[in-house]
Structure 1
Amino acid sequence: MNTAWHTRPMAAFDIESTGLDVEGDRIVTAALWRIDPERRSKEVLSWLADPGVEIPADAAEIHGITTERAREQGRPAAEVVAEIADALEAVVAEGLPVVVYNAPYDLTLLDREIARHRPGRPLPAQPLVVDPLVLDKRVDTYRRGSRKLVDVCAHYEVPLAAEEAHGAAADALAAARLAWRIAATHPEIAEMSAAELHTAQIAWKAEQAASFQEYLRRRDPEAVVDGAWPYTPATV
């Protein structure tokens, strides 16, 4: 029986938001997949929130959700955030690894939204995260070009049409397929357990961030990069 983590059940998560500031921006849409590669089965939970703030035009252009649509079709942010937290908590309780592309962004933003709408009940116990962005940079460090999800998927021949990109459900599923493809083609990734891979990625992300920080500082001495992987918990 094949017990490699990428052949076993997993979850995949993605958020689309009002912007890139994890401290102040809000969730607009989110999706959480449950995927069983062996059974070739998958199911998704999706959410559309009214974030309670204006959705900037540049953000709406990316994910397609305007302020008007969010107000008409979205549910109150507090309800959506609570449901996302509960759903994530359920997959964590089952021990499923959670695939999140660029995890520090999505999970830190979710942590702040939970603190905002459900104080006293923080992000569920830390999931075993698989971040295909970290994996790709590990196995193909010196490849030139964009590391955006749509471009990395194109490199690995993972389906994600440009017109589908930045939809939470499409992006989360593409991230899961990307994680599978990287593991399937790199035995050193596949041979780790999900827990071992999670721990390894903490070190790999730190190395990658340090390298990027050095690069940025050569251009701008004041530049900084994102926080700890897989997310930076709020300080209370």
Structure 2
Amino acid sequence: MTRFLTWHRRPLCGFDLETTGTDPETARIVTGCVIRYGGGQPTRAQTWLADPGVEIPAAATAVHGYTTEAARSAGRPAPAAVEEIIAALAAAADAGLPLVVMNANYDFTLLDREARRYGLTPLFDRVAPCVLDPRVLDKQVDRFRRGGRTLADLCSHYVVRLDGAHSADADAAAACAVVWKIANRHRWLTERPLGELHEEQVRWAAEQAAGLRDHFVRTGRPHLAEGVRLDWPVIPYRESAVTGDVR
């Protein structure tokens, strides 16, 4: 009899971006990575260094290490890099692999805006991927745990090695490893079909964001509450909300 393999025993597709800033509506891609992880096979990674076409702020360089000069001299033209990243993710989704992305609504929203900036078809207009977000999953299965929920925090909690944090390949692999650990610890997640689990995360992410927004209001920080979005895994595009350099 053929043994049934739950989704966490099959390959995962990890994705991560390092960028010029923290606002997904305006930031640009500097590096990206798409990896195939797990399923009893060696990890395979595709990586990109892009010339974002704008200055890379010193604060962003301090995070990922790339200066404007380095990206301009060695980076691919941004439109080409963005198209190749989207194509790699679409191919993984078409092959039935879930896309594992830490804080998915940042990376996917930024990728969506980059696609529109260069007249490319966005990922979610090409495919309907199943997404697994370690941050959303962790907050659902262990919602009252104190402490941070960054990727580094999750790696520490789930005993996942994180070498070279804030490099796209290291972060993508670590996110996959964290999702595997969460799924292996909370086996009820593995009993959910991936499509169903994706839809549950849409609801969980909205509930988690609403809770954060309420916390900001209760603690006298309404200006922070205004910036909390309930959308997951991508913030819908609204032309009126985007700065003039995005079309």
Q: Which AA in structure 2 matches 1:153? A: C
Match of 1:138 in 2: 140
* Superposition map of 1:44-83 within 5 A: 44-83=45-84
Give the structure-1-normalised TM-score.
0.95
Q: Which AA in structure 2 matches 1:27? A: I
Match of 1:208 in 2: 208
The one-character-per-residue Cα deviations of 1:28-55 (angstroms, maximum 9, x if unpaired) are 0000001242x23221100000000000
Q: Distance in 2 between matches of 1:46 and 1:77?
A: 13
Q: Is contact 1:111–1:233 with CA below 8 Å preserved after alignment? A: no
Q: Is contact 1:104–1:227 with CA below 8 Å preserved after alignment? A: no
The one-character-per-residue Cα deviations of 1:81-134 (angstroms, maximum 9, x if unpaired) are 011111111111112100000000000000000001134x22232310000000
Q: Is contact 1:49–1:75 with CA below 8 Å preserved after alignment? A: yes
Match of 1:188 in 2: 188
Number of residue pairs matched by the alignment? 232
Q: Is contact 2:90–2:127 with CA below 8 Å preserved after alignment? A: yes
The one-character-per-residue Cα deviations of 1:181-217 (angstroms, maximum 9, x if unpaired) are 0000001212112111101101111110111010011
Q: Is contact 1:104–1:226 with CA below 8 Å preserved after alignment? A: no
Q: Is contact 2:210–2:230 with CA below 8 Å preserved after alignment? A: no
* Superposition map of 1:3-82 within 5 A: 3-37=5-39, 39-82=40-83
Match of 1:226 in 2: 229
Q: Is contact 2:18–2:166 with CA below 8 Å preserved after alignment? A: yes
Q: Distance in 2 between matches of 1:67 and 1:92?
A: 32
Q: Is contact 1:9–1:96 with CA below 8 Å preserved after alignment? A: yes
Q: Distance in 1 between matches of 2:183 and 2:32?
A: 25
SS at match of 2:222: coil
Residue ranges of structure 1 left out of the alignment (5+ in a row): none
Give the structure-2-normalised TM-score.
0.91
Match of 2:113 in 1: 112
Q: CA deviation at 1:227?
A: 4.5
Q: Is contact 1:107–1:231 with CA below 8 Å preserved after alignment? A: yes
Q: CA RMSD in A?
A: 1.2
* Identity, % of aligned positions: 49
Q: Is contact 2:111–2:122 with CA below 8 Å preserved after alignment? A: no
Q: Distance in 2 between matches of 1:227 and 1:15?
A: 21
SS at match of 1:33: strand
Q: Distance in 1 between matches of 2:16 and 2:229?
A: 18
Q: Distance in 2 between matches of 1:51 and 1:167?
A: 16
SS at match of 1:41: coil
Q: Distance in 2 between matches of 1:19 and 1:80?
A: 18
Larger mean Cα displacement after TM superposition, 43-52 or 142-151: 142-151
Residue ranges of structure 2 left out of the alignment (5+ in a row): 240-247
Q: Is contact 2:37–2:43 with CA below 8 Å preserved after alignment? A: yes
Q: Distance in 2 between matches of 1:89 and 1:227?
A: 24
